[in-house]
């Protein structure tokens, strides 16, 4: 029984090692009407647009819509790979996110 618990703990630790590190930023509106999208301003001043996950491997459209109501709040997040959009610049899917401060 102890070996099973040890094995499960080891597997969980290895799974977490595959995720990108936690980062912090502020939710902001990016773009100009009608292309205003939700984005994150990172601590270094860089900004990227949040793309909803379509494959269930991150925050979907409903979770991104809930975050949009919290624009201006600080968040802690793990972002997936970054892509470049011709109009909006850098964009990424958030794998995990949590609001750090109340609005």
- Kindly indicate the confidence band of residue 76, based on its pLDDT and cuts at 50, 70 and 90: very high
Average pLDDT, the chain: 84
Identify whether 11 is part of a domain: no
For 100, residues 6+ apart whose C-beta sits below 8 A from its C-beta are 24, 73, 74, 75, 76
**Residue 75 half-sphere exposure toward CB, CA atoms < 13 A:** 27
Identify whether 55 is part of a domain: yes
Identify whether 77 is part of a domain: yes
Domain count, the chain: 1
CATH number reported for the structural domain that contains residue 25 in this entry: 2.40.50
Closest C-alpha among 34, 30, 21 to residue 77: 21
- Kindly indicate the confidence band of residue 102, based on its pLDDT and cuts at 50, 70 and 90: low
Show the domain range for 61.
21-99
Identify whether 89 is part of a domain: yes
Tell me: pLDDT of 5 over 50.
Answer: no
- Between CA 6 and CA 70 the distance in angstroms is 40
* Cβ 79 vs Cβ 95: under 8 Å: yes
- Between CA 86 and CA 49 the distance in angstroms is 12
Identify whether 2 is part of a domain: no
Identify whether 16 is part of a domain: no
Question: What tens digit of pLDDT does each residue of 6-18 get?
Answer: 555 555 455 556 7
Per-residue pLDDT at 55: 77
CA geometry: angle 87, 97, 43, nearest 5 deg: 65
Identify whether 26 is part of a domain: yes
Sheet with 94-99, side-by-side order of all strands: 83-85, 89-92, 47-50, 37-42, 23-30, 74-79, 94-99
Question: What tens digit of pLDDT does each residue of 36-73 get?
Answer: 899 999 988 899 999 999 877 899 999 999 999 999 99
Identify whether 47 is part of a domain: yes
């Amino acid at each position: 029984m102890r070996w099973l618990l040890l094995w499960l703990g080891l597997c969980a630790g290895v799974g977490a090692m595959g995720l990108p590190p936690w980062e912090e930023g502020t939710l902001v509106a990016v773009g100009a009407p009608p292309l205003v999208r939700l984005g994150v301003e990172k601590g270094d001043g860089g900004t990227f647009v949040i793309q909803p996950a379509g494959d269930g491997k991150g925050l979907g459209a409903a979770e991104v819509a809930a975050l949009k109501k919290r624009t201006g709040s600080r968040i802690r997040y793990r972002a997936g790979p970054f892509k470049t959009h011709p109009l909006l610049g850098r964009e990424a899917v958030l794998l995990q996110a949590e609001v750090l401060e109340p609005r």
